[in-house]
Structure 1
Amino acid sequence: MDTSSKTAALLQKLLQFKTVNPPGDTAAIARFLKQQFEPLGAKIDLVQAPRADGPVHFVARLRGDGSKKPVLLAAHSDVVPVEPDRWSVDPFAGVIRDGYVLGRGAMDFKGGLAVFARAVMMLAENKVPLARDVILLSEGDEESGPHGARWLADQRWDLIEAEFALNEGGWIFRDGRGTARQVNITVRDKNTIVLRLTARGAPTHSAWPGLAPHTAIGRLIIALARLVAREPQPMMTELTQGYFAALSRTTEPPLAGWFHTLATSPDAAAREAAGRRIVEEGAYPMLWHALMRNTLAITMLNGGIKENVIPGSAEAKLNIRLLPGQGLDEAMAYVREVIADDGIRIDAPAFASLDEARADLHVRTNRPASSTETALYRSLKAHAERIWPEAEVTPALFEAGTDATAWRLRGVPVYGVYPYPLDNETMVRMHGNDERIEIAALDQGTDWVYSVLVDVAGRS
C-alpha cells in the first residue's frame, strides 16, 4: 500500500461519503471540504439547492492580488448509483488494492475532485503568491438533477465567474506498455437531448394478443428494434478530424492507418470501413465509436399496468449525443426515418415544447470551442509534455456532457481533463462495478494541475 500519496488519502475520505444521485445529498462532503480549506485561509461558500435533501455546492476561494481575473477548477462530488452485490469491495469504503483506489466515483469524478483539491491546497500550503483568485467548485448535482452548475451560475455567478476554467473531460491514453501516448484536452462537448417515444393502442385482455404488432407495446418494440439494428454513420467535424489525425500519429499500424483514413478520406464508405475496424480492434472501442458519430441509447422503458392487460400506451426514452452542428431537427429526422412509424409520438420531456428544446440545442451547438490560445491551455499543454514526454497533446471533443456548458454559454473558455492516465480496463469501469483509479496516476495528475496553477495564477 502506498501511504505517501496525499491525493489518494484524500480520495479515500471522499469516497466514504455516500453522495449517490438521486437524491444527491452532498451536504456532509461539503462540510468536510470546508474543514480542509478553512484552516488554509480560503473563503468558503456553501450553496444549498432548494430541496431539503438536495445538493450543496461547495466553493473555496484562495485570494490573489486581483491583478488578473480568477481561474476556476470545477469538479462534482455526486456519483451514480451502485449494484453493491456485484462489487468485490465495499463501494463506499475507499479500499486500496494493487496500487488502485476503488470506490464509486474513484474515476468519475471524486478522483478528479481529489486532484483539483490537493493542487489548490498545495498553493496555500506552499504560500505561493497569487496574481489571481483560485476558485475550487465541488458541484453537487451533476449526475442527475436540475440544480447543477447551470442553476448555480444563474443563482450565484459571482461565486464562480472566472477568466477560464478547468473541468472534467479529456482522456489521457496509455498504450499496452503503460506509457501515456495522447493527452486530450477537451474544448467542447457533444450536446445531449433526451427524446421520448410514446406509442398508443387499444387496451384489451391479454388472452387476445392477435393484434400484437398494433398494440402500444408491440409498436414500440418494433420501433426500438429498428433503432438498435441501425447505426448512425461516421461524421467528421474539424475538431474530430484533428483528434483522429493525432491518434494516427500515436498508435501503431494497422490502427494508425485506419485512423488516418477516418480523419482524411473523402470516401464515406472508406471512413465507415475504417471506423468499423477501429471499433473492432482498437484499445478504447466505446470511446472512439462515440466520437465518430451521433449516438443513440435506449435508456428507459415504461409500459403495462398488469400482467393480464394489454396496455393502451407504452413509452421509451432515448439518450442522444450529438456532434457539434447537429440539432433537434437532425435528431428527430433520424429517429423518424428509422422507426418508420408516424403514429409514434416524439417529444423532448425536459422541455415545455419542441420549440423550446430546438432553441436550447441551437444555442449549445453554436457556441464556439474554447480557444487554444489562452494562458491556461498553453500551460496545460506545456506541463503535460513535461510529465508525459512521449504523449501528443491535442484539443478534443468530449463524447458526453459536462458542467462546462454553464461557463461556455457565458463565453468563458473551459478545458476538460480526467487528470490521470487511464487504460481501457479502468475506463470501462466508469459508472460500472469496481470503479478504480491508480494511485501513481493520481499523483501525476496532481503534479500537472499544481504546476499549471502556479504558472497561470502565481505572481511572476
Structure 2
Amino acid sequence: MSSAGQPASGISRRAMLKAGGAVVGGYVGGTADATAARAHAAVEPPSPAPAARVTVSGTDPVALAAEMIKFDTSHAGRSGSDTGGGAVTLAHARMLEGLWRSAGVPTELVPTPKADNVHLIARVTGRGDRPPLLFMAHSDVVTVERSRWSRDPYGGAVEDGWLYGRGAVDMKGASAAFMAALLRHVREGAEFDRDIIFLSDCDEEGGPYGAQWLVDNHYDKVTAGVAVTEGGWVLNQSDGTTPMLASLSCRDRVSLLLELTATGVTTHSSHPDDGPAVGRLGGALARLARHRPAIGLSDLVREYFTVLARSTRDQEFSRAITRLLAAGTQQERDAAGARVIELSDYPWVHTPMLRATLSFLGQQAGYYTSIVPSTARADVRVGFVPDGEDPARVVAEIRRLVAEWSVTVRVVGRPDETEEQILARVRKTLSRPTSPVTTDVYDMWKRAARETYPGIGVVPSQFEANTSAGPWRDKGIPVYGLYPYAVDGDTVTRMHGDDERVRVTALRTGTDMVYRMLAGMRTG
C-alpha cells in the first residue's frame, strides 16, 4: 500500500533474495539476465524457469504467505523519495508461477525495463458470461530497519499464533488469501461464469514500472470488468478479537510530498546563533505537528461512520460518532471529530477518513560536528481526503503556519512539473468517482462477509492511502479494496512498521471469506 499519489517512498533496491532463500513452486536461485532501463520495445522476457519444485499446495494461506515473505522484494532509499528504479520481484514471481502451473492455470511473466522486476499474470478461464474479475496483489514491500525487528523480517516465522514478516499485512498476507481461495476452487474443479485474473504487480510501493506502466503498455492482458485489491479492513471490537465491522473500500486517498527548507549561516559551532537553520526548521515542524485540519464528512465517510456507530460495543464511542454525524457547524464538527479520533481503537484508519493529514518522514542537516550548517530540510507528506479541502488551500495554510520561521515549502512532483501542474494532477486524482455498490462482486463480498463473520456490520469505505487501483478507475472500471483478515489496532499500526504480523486464525478465516465470495461466480 503506497501512501503517495505517485509511487511512494524510497527507491534504490535491495539486491535480491537472501542467499539460499526458501523455494516454493519451481524457482531455485538465479535471475534473468536483463539490462536495466531498456526501452519498452526492447524488453526481453525472463529466462525460462527451472523445473517446478512445488513444496506447498498454495491452498494454505499461512504457508503460502510465509513463503512469499521469504523473498526480499523490498525497496530501500531516502525517506520521502518519490523516484527510483523499481523492486526485484522475479524470484517471487517464479515461485507463484510454479504453484499456478501445478494447478493447471496458465501464467505469463511481464518483464519491465528494470532487470528482474516483473509482473505475474495467472488467468483462470471461465465461461465468459461476464467480463473478467481481476485480483491485484502487489509483490513489492517497503524496506525495514532490521535493528528494530525482534525476528528476521524475511523469515516468515509463525510464533504464538502470529505470522511475522515484512508484507504480512501489506500485502503478501492479502495476496496469499486471494490466491489460496482461488486455487482451492481450481483444485475442486470449479468452473466460473467469467475469467478470473490474478495479478502479482510490482512497484506499487515505489518505482516507475507499477500498475500505470502495466496498463499503459499491456492493458490487453489485464482488462477486467471489476477489480479487487488491498484496502478495506475487518476491524475487531475493543477486545481485539471479536469482528466488529467489515468494509470494502471504494475510493482511495491521495497524497503529495512537501520539502521544507530553512537556511542560515555556516559557521563554527562555538559561535552563538539566535536563528540557526536547524532550530528554525524544528520550530516550524513543531507548529505543524500541532496543526489539525478541518474535519469533513463525504457521503461515503458518513455512511461508514453510521454503520460503525451501530456496530461498536463501545457506547461512548458510538455516542461520539452520533454527535459527529449530527454536527451542524464546522466548529461542532471539528470538536466531535476530535473526540471520535480520541476514542477510536483505530485512529490510523479513522483520522485519514475525516481530514487532511501531515506525516513527518525525515530530516537532513549538518555534515561535521564543529560546523553549524546553513541548511536544514525535512520531508512532509500531506494526505488529502476526496471531497475534502482543496490541495492548494492546504499547502497555502502550511506555508502560512511556517512563515514565522522563514521556512520555504516546495511541492515535490515529477522533474518536469510546475507546482500548479502537480496540484492539478492531485485534484484530478481526487475527483475519481467512487466505485459503485451496485455490482454483483460487491453483493458477493457483502454476503460472504456476513456468512464468515455473523452479526458484523458491512459497509463501503474510503481507504486511508493510495493503491494500484487508479489506472483501472481512470478507465471507469470499479475497483474495490479488501484486507480480508480481522485486525486489532496494534496490527494496523505495524503495517509499514516494525515486527509486522498477522494473526494466523484471522488469515485463514479471511481466506474463507474470499472463497465464499468467489463461490458466487461458480457455475459448476
TM range (shorter): over 0.9
Supply the distance in 1 between the matched residues of 2:163 and 2:59 (Cα, whole angstroms): 11
Report which of the two has the higher share of helix: 1
Residue 432 (structure 1) aligned with residue 497 (structure 2): yes
Conserved? CA contact 2:485–2:510, under 8 Å = yes
Residue 30 (structure 1) aligned with residue 93 (structure 2): yes
Supply the distance in 2 between the matched residues of 1:359 and 1:234 (Cα, whole angstroms): 23
1:67-82 superposed matches below 5 A: 67-82=129-144
Give the match for residue 453 of structure 1. 518
What percent of counterpart residues are identical?
36
Moved over 4 A (4+): none
**3-state SS, counterpart of residue 348 of structure 1:** strand
Supply the distance in 2 between the matched residues of 1:341 and 1:425 (Cα, whole angstroms): 37
1:310 Cα deviation after fit: 3.0
Q: Which amino acid aligns with 1:440?
A: T
Give the match for residue 243 of structure 1. 304
1:48-63 superposed matches below 5 A: 48-52=111-115, 55-63=117-125
Give the match for residue 65 of structure 2. 11
1:34-49 superposed matches below 5 A: 34-49=97-112
Supply the distance in 2 between the matched residues of 1:242 and 1:45 (Cα, whole angstroms): 40
1:182 Cα deviation after fit: 0.7
Conserved? CA contact 2:304–2:459, under 8 Å = yes
**3-state SS, counterpart of residue 224 of structure 2:** coil
**3-state SS, counterpart of residue 417 of structure 1:** strand
Supply the distance in 1 between the matched residues of 2:405 and 2:238 (Cα, whole angstroms): 49
Aligned residue among 444, 452, 463 for 1:379: 444
Supply the distance in 2 between the matched residues of 1:421 and 1:160 (Cα, whole angstroms): 29
Residue 151 (structure 1) aligned with residue 213 (structure 2): yes
1:445 Cα deviation after fit: 1.6
Give the match for residue 393 of structure 2. 330
Conserved? CA contact 1:240–1:263, under 8 Å = no
Give the match for residue 234 of structure 1. 295
1:257-336 superposed matches below 5 A: 257-325=319-387, 326-336=389-399
Supply the distance in 2 between the matched residues of 1:147 and 1:434 (Cα, whole angstroms): 28
Residue 204 (structure 1) aligned with residue 261 (structure 2): no
1:276 Cα deviation after fit: 2.9
Conserved? CA contact 1:248–1:259, under 8 Å = yes
Conserved? CA contact 1:242–1:263, under 8 Å = no
1:12 Cα deviation after fit: 1.5
Supply the distance in 1 between the matched residues of 2:487 and 2:366 (Cα, whole angstroms): 43
1:144-168 CA-partner distances (Å, limit 9, x unpaired): 2222212221121112111011110
Q: Which amino acid aligns with 2:91?
A: A
1:154-173 superposed matches below 5 A: 154-173=216-235
Q: Which amino acid aligns with 1:380?
A: W
Structure 2: which 5+ runs fail to align? Answer: 1-56, 77-85
1:13 Cα deviation after fit: 1.0
Q: TM-score, structure 2 length as denominator?
A: 0.82
1:5 Cα deviation after fit: 7.4
Conserved? CA contact 1:336–1:342, under 8 Å = no
Supply the distance in 1 between the matched residues of 2:438 and 2:252 (Cα, whole angstroms): 18
Aligned residue among 345, 348, 364 for 2:408: 345
1:204 Cα deviation after fit: 3.2
1:50 Cα deviation after fit: 1.7
Root-mean-square deviation (CA, aligned residues, Å) is 2.1
1:299 Cα deviation after fit: 0.7
Supply the distance in 2 between the matched residues of 1:147 and 1:218 (Cα, whole angstroms): 39
Give the match for residue 217 of structure 1. 278
Supply the distance in 2 between the matched residues of 1:436 and 1:219 (Cα, whole angstroms): 39
Aligned pairs, number? 454
1:265 Cα deviation after fit: 1.2
Supply the distance in 2 between the matched residues of 1:229 and 1:259 (Cα, whole angstroms): 23
**3-state SS, counterpart of residue 192 of structure 1:** strand
Supply the distance in 2 between the matched residues of 1:395 and 1:389 (Cα, whole angstroms): 18
Supply the distance in 2 between the matched residues of 1:81 and 1:310 (Cα, whole angstroms): 32
Supply the distance in 2 between the matched residues of 1:5 and 1:389 (Cα, whole angstroms): 24
Give the match for residue 412 of structure 1. 477
Supply the distance in 1 between the matched residues of 2:199 and 2:176 (Cα, whole angstroms): 12
Give the match for residue 395 of structure 1. 460
Give the match for residue 105 of structure 1. 167
Supply the distance in 1 between the matched residues of 2:367 and 2:153 (Cα, whole angstroms): 35
1:155-212 CA-partner distances (Å, limit 9, x unpaired): 21112111011110011011145221210111001111111123333433333332x4
Structure 1: which 5+ runs fail to align? Answer: none
Supply the distance in 1 between the matched residues of 2:107 and 2:359 (Cα, whole angstroms): 40
Q: Which amino acid aligns with 1:83?
A: E
**3-state SS, counterpart of residue 412 of structure 2:** coil
Compared with structure 1, are the counterparts of its residues 317 and 441 closer, same or farther at alpha carbon in structure 2 (3 Å cutoff)? same
Conserved? CA contact 1:328–1:357, under 8 Å = no
